[in-house]
Each structure stands twice: as C-alpha cells, then as structure tokens.
Structure 1
Amino acid sequence: MNKDELRAWLRLSMTEGVGNEAARNLLACFGSPQAVFEQSESALCQVVTPKQAQALLTVPNELAVQCVRTHQWLAHQPDRHSHALWTLGDPHYPPELMQLADPPLMIYVSGQTERTLGNAVAVVGSRNPTPQGAEIATQFGEALCAAGLCVVSGLALGVDGAAHTGALRGGKTSAHWHTVAVVGTGLDRVYPSKHKVLAQQIALHGLLISEYHLGTAPLAHNFPKRNRIIAALGLGTLVVEAALKSGSLITAKMALELNREVLAIPGSIYATQSHGCHALIRQGAKLVENAQDVLEELQLAPQQQVNLFADALATDDPMPSDDCEHPLLSHMGYAPVSLDALQARCGLDTAALQAQLLTLELDGAIGRLPGGLFQRLAAG
C-alpha cells in the first residue's frame, strides 16, 4: 500500500458519521477509497445521506498526523514479528470477519502475519476471576492449543490473560496462530500495561488485532465493540467465569447471533463469577467439563481429538491424581469455604488450621478469596 492509498483508507475510516456499513457501500459503488474522494457531492448522495456526503468532502483534522504515525509504524518492522494493515478485500483479511454486520474497514495487526487462523475458539471470562477460574482458563487454553486450536481472547486481566498464557504453553510450531488477542486500543500501546510481556509473547507466536487507529486510548466503549471480532473469529465461544452483568455474556450473545456455539464451564454456587455461566447453561449453552467436550461440541476432526488425548489429557483433568495429598485438602472440596466451616469439618484449632492454610496457599494448592473464603485449586 503506497502513501496515497494509505491516506485514502485512513480518511475514509476517520470520516465522522460514516461507519463501516456506509463505507462498504461506497467501496462497492466506486471501487476504492481514492475513487470515493474524487466524487462530487451529488454522486456521493446517491449512496449515502447528504450529511455523510458533506462529511466525506471535509478532511478530518487529525488525518495528517495519523498518516505519519501509521506510515512510521508500518515501516518499523521488529526482528521476529511484523506490523501490517489489512483492509477489506486484502487477501490476508480474515474471512470470518465478513460474516459480521459491520466488519472493520481495516484492521491493524502485529505478530506472525504470514500465518493463518485455522480452527479457533474464543475463550472469555471475568477480569476478576477466582483463583480456580484463572487456573482453569490457563489449563483450557493450553489443552485446546495443544489439540490444534487457536485460542482467541481479549488480552484483558483475569480469564483473558490466563487463556492466552495457556495457549502459549500448549502451542506447537505450525502454520496457524497459537493465540489471537483482539484489543480495544491502538496497537502502539498495551492495555493493561501489566500484559506488556504477554503481548510481546503473543506477537512471537500469534497475532494482536485492533480495528482502532494508532494512538487510540483505552476508552470504555471500545471494549464491548471489539467483542464482536472475538466472537466472529472463533467457531464457538467458551465462557470460563462471568457474572450476570458481564462483557463476556455480550460476547456470548454476539456468538449466538453469528450462529456460533456457546459453551460454559459451571462453577460454585457461592461464586458470583459463576452465575453468568449458570445462566448461559440454563439457556442452552453446552456445559463443559474438559477440553474434549469443546472439541466434540465444535465437531472438529477426530484427529484433533486424538491429539488432545495424546498431548493434553493430564492438563485437561481438573481432579488431582496424587494419592498423597495434604489431608486438609480432602476437607475442602472445590467450592469456596469459610475458615469456620473448614474448622468444623477438620477439627483443627484455629492456629493450626491457619498455619496449614498458609502453607497450602504458598504451595499454590489453595487460593484466598474475598470475604475470608478459601478455595482449593485444581492440580497442575
């Protein structure tokens, strides 16, 4: 893409009041962004509203700055991954996004741009999961990627980050991305900043995607909008943990609208982060207990299911297999439990119980929840 083409694409995408649908109609009529801006107002009014036509004749204030910023970003190619800008009609543009009612006019990408998506599943959930929820997301990400699936998520704190991390562990060298992160900012920044290293690792083995121009800050309304891209890229959406009012449920709804599968992992009745998953299951979402359930529901090739059992069965099993586990764990179960309830079960005095809980917490065998609750974690 030369500078003139880049400028025209940016101008079309930045024109106020002209959304993705109107822009697609203009491209279908006139053939290219450059041709759009060569038209008279009357010609434009044959395709869009008079107000939109007026806007198209006005150069956006920030266009020049954005052109320079984007050109420099594209010119700077890191050693082990690439920057690119894929527009509608580009052979690299993911065809899955064309099923959206308003596919992005163009997407910024950073990572292994020569690879492709392959079969993918979206994994989403709470930004503030229980310790067990975060561990489950990591395990599922690893097992699904080991089975040959690309794990798509949103790079957010909590379940998203855990799913990406698991996928990076489970990935093998292939022609497909191990994981894809769809972000709600410009790709010249990482949000949240805690995931800077994770974003770098994703770029080395997968892809980061954004429909937002470089320099775009983490604006609240951008994140629900980007969820439609997450839903579109996956054959289905797996919800690990989600409250009843959650962005993850928005993603699940978008997946249904795209005729994608929706799957959910049940959790404790005491954890509010599980209530959204339970609501989805009541409404017909597939109840998932292991990664094999995901492959079967998505009706993937039998060989991928064989790969899962061969390479990731141990990771996929949420139940501990060690017969020599700490005695206190047998009293805990997997639901959150209070100190008083646990003391009544095991009969230990308070000081001894707290000492053992601290030891188990430091060993990563249990997690501490808000409200003075404890929860046993799945075996690694």
Structure 2
Amino acid sequence: MNDSNSSDVILRLSAVPGIGPKKLSKLLSHLDMDDLDQLDSERLGKYGFNSRQIQAYLVGCLELEKARRWQQASCNHHIVTLADSTYPMRLKQIVAPPPVLFVVGSVDCLCQLQIAIVGSRQAGVVAKQQVSHIAAQLAECGIVITSGLALGIDGAAHQGALEKGRTIAVMGTGCDRIYPARHRHLAQQISEAGALVSEFFPGTAANAQHFPRRNRVISALSVGVVVSEAALKSGSLITAHYALEQNRELFAIPGNIDNPLTEGPHRLIQDGAKLITSAADILEEVIPISPDILDKTALPSDNSCQQQLPTGGLLDNVGYETTSIDQIVERSLLPVEQVVGELIELEMSGFIAVVPGGYVRLRRNP
C-alpha cells in the first residue's frame, strides 16, 4: 500500500467514534502498513471494534466527512498521519502518538528544532515580558517556539517568537475553533509564520479533558520545555511531567518567592530542572543536541542585552513589583514633571511597564 492509501486508512480509523490514540496505536502495532487495506469487518471485530464502529469505518462517518471538507477548504489546511514522512519524528517516538495531526500553516516547521514555553494564564507583566524576550532570542537563532495559544505566558511566547522567527500553537480544540476567542488574530499570525496544530478533528470544541493531551504533544514536539509562572496544580506542571516522561530537557524561570505563581517553577528547580534567566542558559543545553541547526550569528552575546538608558538613575527607583508614581518621586527626590517625562522614556525603551497602581520594572540596568 502506498503512503497515500495508508494515510487515508489511518484517517478513517481515527474518525471512528470511541477509537482513541491508545487503541489505534495498539491496532497499528499488530499490522504492517501493507495490511491496512485488508481491514474488513472480520478483522476489525477481532481487534475489538463493535458493529457500530465497523460500520463507521467501512461506510464513513460525519467526522471523516468534516475532516475532508476542512482539508479541501484551503491549500493551507493539511492532514498528517503516522504513515506520512512529514509526521514529526520526536512526536512519533512517544507512547501512543496521535495518529493524525491537523495543521494550518507550515507542515515543515513541525520537524524543526523546537523549544516549548508554558506558564500561567494569569501571569504578571514582568513574567510575560521575560518570556517574550527569551522567545524572540531563541527564534532569532532558528529555534521554533511551541506553546498552547492560551492567555498569559503562552500568548507572550508566541508573540515574542513572531518578532524574530517561527512559532507553533498546539491546540486543545479543532483547528477551526480558536480558543480563547480573543487570540483569533494571534492564531492568524501564527498560521502565516508557523503552524496551528491539533490532534482533534475539525469542529471539536474546547473541553477540559483535551488540554492534558494538548500538553503532551507540546512537550513531545520539543527538545526542551521552559516553565514560567505556574501554580503547583496547573496544566504547565502537567506539561513538565510529560517532558520528563519523554526525556526532554526541563527549564524553569525563578521569580518572587511571595508570588504563588512561582511555586511551580521553584518546585521544578528543587526537583532538578535547570534554572534559567536568559535564552543563553537554554542554548547551553540545546547547542550540543543540534550544533549544525542553529544560526550561530544570532546567538546572544554578553553585550547583546545592553542598551543605553534613556535617562539617568530613575530606573533604580522603580521596583519589580508595582511602584506608584508618588513612591518614585519620593525615592528619586526629583520634581514630578521630570519624573513623569523620564518614566515615559523608560516605558518607550522597554525598561518599565505601566500597570494598575503605577509602574513595574522589566529589565535590569544595562
């Protein structure tokens, strides 16, 4: 059987109600690709298919029809199965890999070197800025940034990567159901400069049970997973667990010990994850894995983050937690008018951000 026929059989099997990745992987483990076209009602019955499932496979079902219509709707819509050479090798190596991937965008980038970045939906301004900066630096080196399209850290990682390179969003819904809805524009940008990927058939709505499966794919596609702000009981730590199971590198960004959202990264560090504060810390581990893939000319140097302060020492008076303008005036002993002007310059240069109640510092002094 050629690859096209094998792919069609796997797609048909995946569309059968009640046949998940585990059951399908078990079936495929007993068959050669050449045997797939010989599946009939008798053989399917021996493998545990009930009469309804056999009928769905032989005649076709609504899910299969939806998938084919979705694929035909755009040349940017792709269906990749385990039988295809374009199926990502890292993902194929895990236990019970998704038999089918639905892709909007570039299929090629699924097989490129990837780092996953995950974290809380409620992440703070500083954490999101840190993640965006790290993602941009990694993307500039040729690394694809993979995340889950959620609010907070995921969105910041995607946006940072888009500034300098490519990013992949792994979804817990069908590729035609963008969740959360406010990330529709971001999803469009990702599909144009990377890929949206889902193991779920088109039309699949958001479901809490789907997101652990999404997290498993995020870690499997990547050589390493970075965890930023995340509570102890969070989806990000599920992703970290999968990363360890799949023998991936695990990185964690530390934070304020009084912030409950840093408990997750701190626990991971205690358990052996590598503490990182910059893209360079990640590259130390990645370069030995893929020395010929990265763009060495884009590697961050010790001086790459240095930038001339647009003002004098006012930055020293802005904390990493919310600092009111009254506090900044009191600490700096400068006139209010001068403080306001310099704060605007610092904000425009990316050293601070405006938040409810005042300002937060995003970067250290150069």
TM superposition score category, shorter chain reference: 0.7 to 0.9
Matched, 1:85 2:79: yes
Distance (Å, rounded) in 2 between the aligned partners of 1:275 and 1:337: 23
Partner of 1:202: 190
User: Is 1:144–2:138 an aligned residue pair?
Assistant: yes
- For structure 2, the residue ranges without an aligned partner over 5 or more in a row are none
Check whether the contact 1:122–1:153 (CA below 8 A) recurs between aligned residues. yes
Which whole-Å CA distance do the structure 2 matches of 1:112 and 1:98 have between them? 18
Cα deviation, 1:131-180, whole Å, max 9, x if unaligned, reads 11111111111110111211111111121121112212212xxxxxx221
Counterparts of 1:353 and 1:219 in 2: how far apart (Å)? 52
Distance across 2 between alignment mates of 1:316 and 1:252: 30
CA distance in 1, matches of 2:323, 2:31: 64
Counterpart in the other structure of 1:331: 317
Please provide the CA RMSD for this pair.
3.4
1:306 aligns with 2:296: yes
Q: What is aligned with 1:174?
A: none
Aligned partner of residue 59 in structure 1, secondary structure: helix
**Aligned partners of 1:134 and 1:159 also within 8 Å:** yes
What SS class does the counterpart of residue 109 from structure 1 fall into? strand
Partner of 1:13: 14
Q: 1:355 to 1:284 in 2, by over 3 A?
A: same
Question: 2:128 is paired with a residue of what secondary structure?
Answer: helix
Whole-angstrom CA distance in 2 between matches of 1:301 and 1:30: 34
Cα distance, 1:14 vs. partner? 3.5
Q: Which residue in the other structure is 2:308 paired with? A: 322
- For this pair of structures, how many residues does the alignment match? 358
* Inter-CA distance 279–3: structure 2 relative to 1 (3 Å threshold): closer
Q: 1:196 to 1:29 in 2, by over 3 A?
A: same
Shift of 1:193: 2.0
1:208-287 correspondence to structure 2 within 5 Å? 208-287=196-275
Cα distance between partner residues in 1 of 2:44 and 2:271: 45
- Indicate if the aligned counterparts of 1:268 and 1:336 stay in contact, CA closer than 8 A: no
- Aligned partner letter, 2:247: N
Residues 7 and 83 of structure 2 are in contact (CA less than 8 Å); yes or no, is this contact kept in structure 1? Answer: no
Rounded to whole Å, the distance in 2 between the matches of 1:2 and 1:63 is 20
User: Is contact 1:266–1:278 with CA below 8 Å preserved after alignment?
Assistant: yes
Q: How many angstroms apart in 1 are the aligned matches of 2:89 and 2:320?
A: 41
The change in CA–CA distance for 1:276 and 1:139 in structure 2 (over 3 A counts) is same
Question: Could you say which residue in structure 2 is the equivalent of 1:29?
Answer: 30
- 1:168 paired with 2:162, answer yes
What's the counterpart of residue 128 of structure 1? 122
Equivalent residue of 1:121, what SS? strand
Distance (Å, rounded) in 2 between the aligned partners of 1:295 and 1:242: 22
SS at match of 1:26: helix
Partners in 1 of 2:241 and 2:124 — Cα distance? 23
Q: Is the 8 A contact 1:7 1:67 kept in 2?
A: no
Aligned partners of 2:89 and 2:303: how far apart in 1? 32
Paired letter, 1:21: K
Contact 1:281 / 1:287 at 8 angstroms: preserved in 2?
Answer: yes
Q: In the alignment, is residue 39 of structure 1 matched against residue 41 of structure 2? A: yes
Whether the 8 Å CA contact 2:44–2:54 is kept in 1: the answer is: no
Match status 1:297 vs 2:294: no
TM-score (norm 2): 0.84
C-alpha separation between the residues in 2 aligned to 1:337 and 1:5?
Answer: 61
CA distance in 2, matches of 1:341, 1:270: 21
CA change 1:207–1:316 in 2 (3 A) is: farther
Q: CA deviation at 1:194?
A: 2.0
1:375 aligns with 2:365: no
The residue identity in structure 2 corresponding to 1:190 is I
How far is the alpha carbon of 1:89 from its aligned partner?
1.6
Report if the CA contact (8 A) 1:10-1:63 is conserved.
no
User: Cα deviations across residues 277-316 of structure 1 (Å, max 9, x unaligned)?
Assistant: 111111111011111110112334556373343xx44896
Deviations 1:102-155 (A, max 9, x none): 211111111123555222111111112111111111111111011121111111
Partner AA of 1:334 in structure 2? Y
Q: Tell me the equivalent position of 1:76.
A: 73
Query: Percent identity, aligned pairs only?
Result: 36
8 Å Cα contact 2:6/2:83 also seen in 1:
no
Aligned match of 1:67 in 64, 79, 84? Answer: 64
1:309-362: CA deviation from partner (whole Å, max 9, x where unpaired): 3xx448963xx643443644212343455778767745689x889967985796
Given that 1:295 and 1:305 are in contact with CA atoms closer than 8 Å, whether structure 2 keeps it comes out as no
User: Does the Cα contact within 8 Å between 2:16 and 2:61 map onto a contact in 1?
Assistant: no
The 1-side partners of 2:212 and 2:354 are apart by: 30
Residue 107 (structure 1) aligns with: 101
Give the letter aligned to residue 322 of structure 1: Q
Partner of 2:41, secondary structure, is coil
Q: Which amino acid aligns with 1:23?
A: L
Residue type at the aligned position of 2:177: R
Paired residue type of 1:157 = L
Residue equivalent to 1:175: none
For 1:323 and 1:57, locate their aligned partners in 2 and report how far apart those are by CA, in whole Å.
Answer: 69
C-alpha separation between the residues in 1 aligned to 2:347 and 2:328? 18
**1:118 matches 2:115:** no
Q: Secondary structure at the match of 1:110?
A: strand
